[in-house]
Amino acid sequence: MDRLAQAFARAAREKRAAFIAYLCAGDPDFDTSLAACRAVLEAGADVLELGVPFSDPLADGPTNQLAAQRALDGGMTAARVFELVRRIREFSEVPIIFYTYYNLVFSNGVEAYIQAAKAAGVNGMLTLDLPPEEAGEVLAACTQHDLKTVFIVAPTTPPARLAIISAAATGFIYYVSREGVTGVRQQVANNIPEAVARIRQHTKLPVAVGFGISTREQVRQVARCADGVVVGSALVNVIRDNLANRAGLPARLRITAADLVAGVASSSADR
């Protein structure tokens, strides 16, 4: 069983959802980013979703756009992102998913990029702007190099496309709980259980839910029905708010991440 499947299986045995933590690779600089990744993993994250910094992150709201800009300004490149993964692998076996855009994969050569990601220690690819109907080259390379694929389902996804998306995914399905971009929200969407149930009619893969989840109680609400809960902006905001104290940033991030992770643990009684 691969790292990603093991993470979801372990969470299921513990009767809880997996906690998936999003951070932008290299935000705000390489060393601080590495320490931030260690902090969220030590806080109990089951999966690390690493955003690959990009100049035009169309699916991201202001928080993650600014994180990507900080990372790029700090000198992050494709090679440095792979190096960050290798450094994480020195202390953690937690599965790592790339949250990326197709231009970054294509411009480096699809085969070469996927091979390099696997060699660095990446376990899966979520290419935000790549629909499954056009993903043949990426799917073939991921199959060849045993890298799992993750595809998005949105509230606006028509029923006819659910089967297509589910057939292309090999890691998990990522349900975007709200229309629009990433970012903190005051409340979670109220149709998540129905949407997750609808997706499960087409796949046996885990269904993770993200976008707009930012508090322990929101994590708990979503974890009642989902196999995984993704939190990004609430963690990235801690980095943003502590740029002037980078030495103390990991400790603050660990506290916030641990509080959010407690949401999946407390959801077990509701499952």
Point out the residues that are catalytic: 49, 60
Cis peptide before 28 (omega within 30 of 0): yes
- Longest CA pairwise span in the chain (Å): 50
Alpha helices in 50-149 (DSSP H): 62-73, 78-88, 102-107, 110-120, 136-144
Q: Which amino acid is at 239?
A: I
| 154 neighbors 179 (Cβ within 8 angstroms) | yes
Q: Is the CA virtual torsion 269, 48, 241, 64 positive or negative?
A: negative
- Which three-class secondary structure state does DSSP give residue 267? helix
Phi, psi dihedral angles at 65 (to 5 degrees): -60, -45
Query: Can you spell out the DSSP letters for 126-195?
Result: EETT--GGG-HHHHHHHHHTT-EEEEEE-TT--HHHHHHHHHH-SSEEEEE-SSS-----SS--TTHHHH
